[in-house]
Amino acid sequence: MAAGDATLISADNEWSPLRAVIVGRAENSAFPSEPAKMIEATMPAEHAANFKPGNPFPAEILSKAQEELDNFAAILQSKGIRVYRPRKVDWLKEGGYTGAMPRDGLLTVGNTLIEAPFAWGCRRNEINLGYVDILSELGASGTSRICRAPQIVGKDTIYDDGKIKGFGNGNGDDSSHWIVNNSRPAFDAADFMRFGKTIIGQLSHVTNRKGVDYLQAIVPGGYSVEILETTDEHAMHIDATILPLRKGLLVYHPERTSKAALRGHDVFRDWELHAYPFAPQPREPPGPPMFMCSPWLLLNALSLDENRIMVEANDTQFASWVTDKFGMTPILCPFQHVNSMGGSFHCATVDLVRSSV
Ligand code: ARG
């Protein structure tokens, strides 16, 4: 980085021009292994049997996903965006999952990069193993702040049944069906998105009330964390539920949230809110299995600025819709093998700098 250019972490929203980003990597990724009740709650039922210890993703999916990630990173670089890549890790040997989904583990809020206190045990070392070089480079600037996740001392209690059971859905209702309890803070960074000084998030099978409180306690002064009411019984990551295209314009999954729920947040008071009007189309020809996600992953786009957006090459109906209706310029990019492993462009990245003008 040029001398004097010390802004290494600075992002307040999801749509201002992207200047620096982390792009994940796929090598040696393995199916995450978590208790059966968590897998049943969050993963497509037909693929549940894969989620056991020591089970790598099929080699062909991994090598093609790696090519897709490298190609995507090269596209971003060609547009003048600074791209950081994590270390290559043997996730199979480490008992971990992947380096391809950094969005789940790191959240930028203003000048602060926050490591998620993952609910999933198999992800607890993910940032440590894959991203420490990036964190030390970013933390060296003096203008940015890196907040590592709290250490879990002793046995993790997050899956224990016991007195602390439901923690509500954000409306004072304690009859929640979430798999994790509220015994320690837990969240995945991908359950949150930046809308200026307001961070919008959701409670989910990986994000509990203490996690939300913890996030509120460590965001820089002036930012507040608000919980959107969602109705996704498999909730895990908000980035296939809402998609801001630019300031004042948001697309949402009509079965997971509603205009009324969104309007309940001051930040959306003057926004145009559009339900995505089509059911996601099956891909033609059928791509690799979607082991971990629903076809609504088409909403997991990444904005380069208020006009340009990265869209999976096969999601042509979605691409035409955002072009015709909103004048967006989608950049189509093959990403089906990354999708197969658990996410799309938003999941596979962490915005580090978005310029505010
Ligand atoms: N749970 C979402 C769905 O199946 C996918 C979210 C993926 N997001 C991520 N950050 N890994 O529709």
**Residue 302, both tokens:** 């990444």
Residue 237 known to be catalytic: yes
Helix (H) or strand (E) holding 195: strand 192-195
**Residue 177, both tokens:** 């069906």
Contacts for 347 with CB less than 8 Å, ≥ 6 apart: 100, 101, 103, 104, 190, 237, 239, 300
CB atoms closer than 10 angstroms to residue 102: 28
- Return the SS3 of 318: helix
* CB distance 297 to ligand 1 below 6 Å: yes
Taking the CA of residue 42 as reference, the ligand 1 atom at the shortest distance is: 1
* Cα-based distances in Å from 203 to 39, 132, 220, 259: 17, 28, 21, 18
CA of 43 to the centre of ligand 1 (A): 10
**Catalytic hit among 205, 237, 274, 346:** 237
Give the model's pLDDT for residue 49.
98
Best residue among 46, 239, 349 to mutate for probing ligand 1, ranked by most atoms within 8 Å of CB: 239
User: In whole angstroms, what is the distance from residue 353 CA to residue 6 CA?
Assistant: 11
* CB distance 106 to ligand 1 below 6 Å: no
Best residue among 38, 234, 290, 293 to mutate for probing ligand 1, ranked by most atoms within 8 Å of CB: 293
User: In whole angstroms, what is the distance from residue 345 CA to residue 37 CA?
Assistant: 28
CA of 73 to the centre of ligand 1 (A): 21
Cβ–Cβ < 8 Å for 352, 138: yes
Taking the CA of residue 297 as reference, the ligand 1 atom at the shortest distance is: 12
Cα angle value 202/219/135 (rounded, 5°): 100
Pairing type for strands 308-312 and 302-303 reads: antiparallel
Cis peptide before 285 (omega within 30 of 0): yes
Q: Which residues pair with 249 in a beta bridge?
A: 246, 272
CB atoms closer than 10 angstroms to residue 289: 14
| pLDDT averaged per 10 residues, the chain (length 357) | 67 98 98 96 97 98 98 98 98 98 98 98 98 97 94 94 48 65 96 98 96 98 97 96 98 98 98 98 90 98 98 97 98 98 98 88
Contacts for 112 with CB less than 8 Å, ≥ 6 apart: 9, 144, 145, 146, 147, 218, 219, 220
Q: Which residues pair with 25 in a beta bridge?
A: 99
Cβ–Cβ < 8 Å for 209, 168: yes
CA of 121 to the centre of ligand 1 (A): 18
**Residue 113, both tokens:** 């990069």
Taking the CA of residue 253 as reference, the ligand 1 atom at the shortest distance is: 12
* CB distance 294 to ligand 1 below 6 Å: yes
Residue minimizing CA distance to atom 9 of ligand 1: 347
CA of 42 to the centre of ligand 1 (A): 9
Residue minimizing CA distance to atom 7 of ligand 1: 343
CA of 295 to the centre of ligand 1 (A): 9
User: In whole angstroms, what is the distance from residue 344 CA to residue 342 CA?
Assistant: 7
**Residue 90, both tokens:** 């043997």
CA of 241 to the centre of ligand 1 (A): 8
* CB distance 102 to ligand 1 below 6 Å: no
CA of 5 to the centre of ligand 1 (A): 34
Helix (H) or strand (E) holding 112: strand 112-115
* CB distance 290 to ligand 1 below 6 Å: no
**Catalytic hit among 274, 293, 347, 351:** 347
